[in-house]
Structure 1
Amino acid sequence: MRKIVTIAENQRGLLVKDGRLISILDSGRHGLWDWGNRMRVEIVSAEGVFMSPWGPIIEKLHPELAAENFVVVRPGEGQVAVVRTDGRATQIVLPGKVAMVWTVLQDVSVEMFDVDARPQLTRAELVAFENAAVVGTAPAIVTVTVPEANAGLVFFDGELVETQGPGRHGYWQVGRKVSARTFDTRPVPVEITAQEILTRDRVSLRVTLTSFVQVTDPKQAALGVPDYEAHVYKLVQFAVREAVGGRTLDEVLNDRVSVDEQIVEHVRRELGDIGVRVTELGVKDVILPGEMRELINKVVEAEKVAQANLIRRREETAATRSLLNTAKLMEDNPTLMRLKELETLERITEKIGRIDVMASSGEGLDAVLDRLVHLKPKA
């Protein structure tokens, strides 16, 4: 019985007879004499990694076929193999894995990396390898991205190994667990929410604060305390209770600067050397109970009314003193008195549209004008 098998250029055929691999057929048209239907041909892709149960059999029992068609990649412990196909990284083979890569249609090269001696990839390697397929189950590469104005801490199995600046950094995650933390090295605002505090005169207040925290040593900030922001938050709460609880309500409201200084001094003293410093800290709001606000508003209103009355009395006294001085000048100087009368008469006549002058003596307007202004003759 004759069988005809056609194999495409990007394929190869595995000729199997009675369950045994006989050969690997090239592309083209093949005629096979099969007496008793004992032969079959498995057509497989001849590109990339040879993924077939026949792979280990070909490698062990047919080394000549393996050498003719494949490159066998088997990295050792602590090694990673990067397979380049026509100069481009296409596969990454992890330790304990075996990859048989076809060589019949493409140029294949293999590069070995000692991940224990050099766990970090260069920038060029990261760009070339990060999209390659991984032969294995675990991811081969971990990318750590550190934003601008940040510092990154890299951990292997929970142990800090190095600090990185802004940018993208790649690490081999083979035989280890790679993790990272980033810290913003700029001053970051930390809002301290309102909390109930009792003053020395037993008035309940709610105080809100704003602080700015800056990481100065990322390594110390990561290892010194579990969460530096929560640590600073608690310190500020304790400092506020100490500063406000030791003062009366009037002292808190009238001397905010002193309260802020005491809080800052307490926080910086207790903060210690954890790689973090508090750049600014201050009371944002002081919230009083409703009835206390009404009482304070009444007190403020009474103070303002008293100040207004005092100012008004001062103005009245000054005006009276000015009138007295003017009266004394007019008493001593009749001419000034007459000028003042004329000035008053001028202001009055500005509002009069018509003036009728009645001179009963028959002397006319001239006599009225002559008598209107009378200057005292010189002695």
Structure 2
Amino acid sequence: MRLLPVKSLQPGMRLAKKIYNEEGLILLSDEVELTASLIKRLSSLGIDFVYISDPRTADIQIPALISEETERMAMQELQSSFLKISSHSLKGLVYPYLGKTFLNVVETIMKDLGSREDVMIMLGNIHSTDQTLFRHSLNVCIYTLMLGKAFGYSHQELTVLGLGAILHDIGKTKIDPSILHKPERLSSVEFEVMKQHAEIGYKLLKDEPGIPLQAAHCAYQHHERIDGSGYPRGLKGNDIHDYAQWISIADSYDAMTSQRVYNQALLPHQAVEILYAGCGTLYEKQKLEIFRDHVAIYPLGMTVVLNTGEIGVVSKIHPFAPQRPVVRVLHCPNRGELQEPYEIDLLKQLNIVITSINESASPQLEQV
């Protein structure tokens, strides 16, 4: 399979990966043959990229970070718990089920991640419509656990980190839905209301049985930045808990690479570049370096242009050098489209580099 922009799709192509709506339900199944009306529909939903089938890249598969069963269970628990909390008054209520419920969710995710070697942060939402609070919470939990594992945290530390990550935005359950789900950018007044979710989340979690106080502080501090420019308290440097700093990186990355009604999703290399612009000011350098080394900045199946003029797709990612993938060349300047592609390992051929992402590529695919 390969990743293509929706604007380059042609009738007769087939989807290679399911398209999900904002509730996590299947909108279009894999192997669906695209028609002009379906392509137009994808564009109207704000989906910019999809995975499509190509005989020359049939062996390129996108690994799931967690199993479908784990993902479905986590999404159901998030939706059920968050909707229940949103329907109650903030004062005088406790939610004793939260600790037990999400401890089980986090443990299951950790088990899935632990069963895979050299796991990389892949694109999770490029083929989904506008993202929900539930999907975002799950993604941030997965990404944060991967980073914490790479950093070397113990199982117990990862459990607390995972709880803080999956519940970091729980305060948004108490934000006015007209603001939370507004289909365009918030006004300055509305943004001030939205910012309250950090403190609300802390108040929801701090006295809950089974929820460590550190996890509550993750909800409180995940929008703080090490130079003091964050909110709600303007904390600086070491005053921000390490767990919250990890979550802030995962939270920002997932927000930038996810679909929004009012904002096009960025590709991983673009999001990483923006994060690195805040190195040493917004985010700690060591944490960003670990993140950089564990994110697939050129995802499998992405079309790239090399400095040689060759155009191909990423067919393999080196776990410890994701910026130097293996590229399967499908188009040569002198030979045009290749029916028998060849591969270039950028980790071995250091004189060849990726110069751009060929977002407008319109390959000659076998029509079915």
* Fold shared, TM-score > 0.5 on shorter chain: no
Which is bigger in relative contact order (C-alpha 8 A, separation at least 6)? 2
**TM tier, smaller:** under 0.3
TM-score normalised according to structure 2 size = 0.19
- TM (norm. structure 1) is 0.19
| Greater helix share, structure number | 2
